Amino acid sequence: MTKPVIQSIFPTPIYTTKINRGFTKQELQFVKEQKKHCSNNQGNINTKDNYILNRKEFKNIKKFLDKHCKEYLETIICPKNNIDLYITQSWLNYTEANQYHHKHEHPNSVVSGVLYFDSDIKNDKILFSHSRGYQQIKPETDKEKFNLWNSGTWFFPVETGNLFMFPSSTTHQVETKQGNNTRVSLAFNTFYKGNLGENASLTELIL
């Protein structure tokens, strides 16, 4: 009997990499100072400045993220026309012990990302959820046999320096924070710049 082959179609790309250096004293001091200028979020706090990557202290961080936005665009999206994927809003998140980051998506954005300035790989993770909507018939899954096809959620451990990028429509969250460190992350949204379609096919959109 021929062994069946299971194919995955329309997968969700989760782009992961790590900054190839430690954060500078200036960058870390800036991150520490910004905690004084935050507002309450659902479960944790984030900076009032929602364009934090425009600050001079993050000049080199911005270059690093711009590089990977370009890599994501050219590797995953592969546009026909000459378009860019540029960062729009950006902000810092601070999550203390017993705090969390609510389940959410990022509207008005193409790709979203998160860079970790302080994270404990033993306790910290990012959790993604499958947006299947209501399922009328759903048998219980053997917890010892969770896989990419039967799981409704999937998590990745995160450590300091990790960068994750994913489609902005992907549901994600941070469960209740364990451990003693303050989990600090920089989140950002992106959008297209350029010609997304073609004039002849009546799909042209110039941004």
The share of the chain scoring above pLDDT 70, in percent, equals 98
pLDDT for residue 131: 75
* Dihedral sign of CA atoms 126, 132, 136, 140 in order: negative
Q: Which residues contact 119 (CB under 8 A, 6 or more apart)?
A: 158, 159, 160, 162, 181, 183, 184, 185
Q: Which residues contact 118 (CB under 8 A, 6 or more apart)?
A: 160, 181, 182, 183, 184
- The string of DSSP letters for 134-172 reads --S--PPPPGGG--TTT-SEEEEE--TTEEEEEETTSEE
The whole-number average pLDDT for the span 187-203 is 93
Name, of 30-34, 152-156, 177-181, the range with top average pLDDT. 30-34
The whole-number average pLDDT for the span 144-172 is 92
Q: Which residues contact 138 (CB under 8 A, 6 or more apart)?
A: none
Tokens 């990499």 identify what position? 17
- Taking only the tens place, the pLDDT of each residue in 105-144 is 999 999 999 999 999 999 999 999 987 766 677 788 888 8
- Taking only the tens place, the pLDDT of each residue in 48-94 is 999 999 999 999 999 999 999 999 999 999 999 999 999 999 999 99
Q: Which domains, and CATH codes, for the chain?
A: 15-134+148-194 (2.60.120.620)
pLDDT band (50, 70, 90) for residue 32: very high
The model's pTM is 0.92
pLDDT for residue 68: 98
The whole-number average pLDDT for the span 12-32 is 96
